[in-house]
Amino acid sequence: MPDSNDAETAKAAAATTAAADTTKDVPKKPKPPKRAKSAETAQPTVARGAQARKAGSARRNYSEDERAQKLGAIEKLLAGGRSTVKDAVHKAGITEQTYYQWKKNARSGGSGQKDDLKELVRLEQENIRLRKLLAEQLRSENAELRKRLGLDK
């Protein structure tokens, strides 16, 4: 005679076998193939930023004169009280940050590189002049000493 314990064990074993069979028979979904990265996404972030900047407004290096003209135009608009800094800068075609940087450089003598170059050229010319003067003095002293010593021929 079968024991009641055996009947319960058989039921439990049948339940776990049925549960295991259902998970084994279910096929997995196939994964889609990986896409290759496009040229734009393969580039580093910095390069994409540069491309975005080129698409909008191109970065430009302004000369000292152009900077002074733009700063003067902005100051006129601001002095009249007709516009805000944001509007005046926008009309000039530059950003607020650029405006403040240019203004800071203009206060501290923004054309310092040009002045340094002029000073360097002036000092080099003075150096050449002084060397020639020294060479002439040495020649005259040497000639005088030769006369005193009787070495002149």
Q: Looking at residue 52, what is its pLDDT?
A: 47
pTM value?
Answer: 0.37
Per-residue pLDDT band for 28 (boundaries 50, 70, 90) equals confident
94 domain-assigned: yes
**Mind listing the pLDDT tens digit for each residue in 52-107?**
444 556 678 888 888 889 998 888 888 877 789 999 999 899 999 999 998 888 88
The domain tally of the chain equals 2
Q: Looking at residue 17, what is its pLDDT?
A: 62
Distance CA 95, CA 101 (A): 10
pLDDT above 70 covers a percentage of the chain that reads 65
16 domain-assigned: no
Residues 115 and 149 in one domain: yes
Residues 99 and 115 in one domain: no
On the 0-12 / 13-18 / 19+ scale of CB atoms within 10 A, 24 is: exposed
Residues 102 and 115 in one domain: no
**Mind listing the pLDDT tens digit for each residue in 133-149?**
999 999 999 999 999 99
Q: Looking at residue 36, what is its pLDDT?
A: 77
37 domain-assigned: no
14 domain-assigned: no
Q: Looking at residue 82, what is its pLDDT?
A: 78
What lies within 8 Å, CB to CB, of 58 at 6+ separation is none
Look up the domain containing 149 and give its range: 111-153
102 domain-assigned: yes
103 domain-assigned: yes
pLDDT above 90 covers a percentage of the chain that reads 27
